[in-house]
Amino acid sequence: MTVRMHTPNLLARAGTVTALTLVTLGGTTVSPGETGNAEAATVSAYALRIAASKSGAPYQYGAQGPYRFDCSGLTLYSFKRAGRALPRTAAAQYVRTRHIPASVRRRGDLVFFRSARGIYHVGIYAGRGRMWHAPKAGSVVRLERIWSGAVSYGRVG
């Protein structure tokens, strides 16, 4: 059996990659001095795709995948597959992330729900006010609008 790799882009065949090529193909561009942010964005985008690929997986308290998840189990699993380690619980994940304002949130950042008792839920921001998460017993991993204003955002480094 022969497997062929098809590369439709002439620049890719030639081994030349420019910023315009990356933007056109949806790649990540890096400015001088911003290597860490670009790498974090790539990791977060990959983690988001992993979470989305688990759409419909059943919720199970304490589950960390690959077929069942609770909220922090989904984020832990997604970022682990993307190459970053997170602690087990939503509250511990909150402590481990760099806290950011909603005005600079981006796809792949973590969304933490808080109450007077502390952090109680986590999901992965998907853009347009939505997130991927494992909501509760009897439900499945799904894309849903962020329903509360009592949220904080964290970026995985």
- What are 30-82's pLDDT values in tens digits? 334 444 567 767 999 999 999 999 999 999 999 999 999 999 999 999 999 99
CB 79 within 8 A of CB 85: yes
Quote the pTM value: 0.76
Average pLDDT over residues 113-134: 98
pLDDT at 36: 57
* pLDDT at residue 157 is higher than 50: yes
Helices (H), ranges, 8-157: 10-14, 19-25, 35-53, 71-81, 90-96
Confidence tier at 17 by pLDDT (50, 70, 90):
very low
Q: Describe the chain by its helix, strand, coil percentages, rounded to 5.
A: 35, 25, 45
Question: Residues 6 or more apart from 93 whose CB is under 8 A from it?
Answer: 72, 75, 76, 86, 87, 110, 112, 122, 154
Domain 32-155 superfamily per CATH: endopeptidase domain like (from Nostoc punctiforme) (3.90.1720.10)
The strand order across the sheet containing 151-155 reads 98-100, 151-155, 110-115, 118-127, 130-133, 142-145
Decide if pLDDT at 8 tops 90: no
